[in-house]
Amino acid sequence: MRTFIGIPIPVDLRERIVEIQHLLKGNVKFVEPENLHVTVKFLGEIDENSVENVISNVHVALERFKRFRITLENLGCFPDLKRIRVIWIGVKENKEKLVNLIKEINSVLSGIGFCREKRIEPHVTIGRVKRRDERVVNSVKKIGDVNIGEMFVEKVVLYKSELMPNGPVYTELHRWNI
């Protein structure tokens, strides 16, 4: 099954993100509000036997963390403005704490065969771009500095992702409370 680890976004911030999505012009496929999350780690295809191993290892990684506040701010894109493929909202306040949490999860998961991320940029993906569109570039530049709000990092979720014709469907497989 296709899986990833993420931090769910509270409803009030999802509503604010949808407002920002409506301001973006051009050829953008938006992430559905119920699917918005802070990306922690994409695991890819894993079998059901590996799920318990992931759960126990991430549990160990999260033991030393207590809940903390982050702010979601500013639009960004991967890989860059000239070749936009992903539009995202970044993390500002306590970004380093979140990076440390993600690094800890990466560390324990690399011990059971998952690749370690080279570059960690905590973010919420809000849209994907299939082909270059100057309207997308201009609207990202125009919106740029935006403050979505603050939230607590108090749970981390292992999701199953099923790719469907109308977009992915995420199912919670496990939740770790911090």
Active site residues: 37, 123
Structure token pair of residue 136: 């997308």
Three-point CA angle 76, 35, 120, nearest 5°: 40
Q: Give the whole-angstrom CA distance, residue 114 versus residue 102.
A: 13
Alpha helices by DSSP H, listed for the chain, are 11-23, 48-62, 95-110, 134-143
CB 148 within 8 Å of CB 171: no
User: What is the CB-side half-sphere exposure of residue 52 using CA atoms within 13 A?
Assistant: 2
Pairwise CA distance, residues 64 & 130, whole Å:
40
The CA distance from 178 to 173, in Å, is 17
> In this structure, which long-range contacts are made by residues 49-53, counting pairs with CB atoms below 8 Å and at least 24 apart in sequence?
50/112, 51/3, 51/158, 51/173, 51/174, 53/112
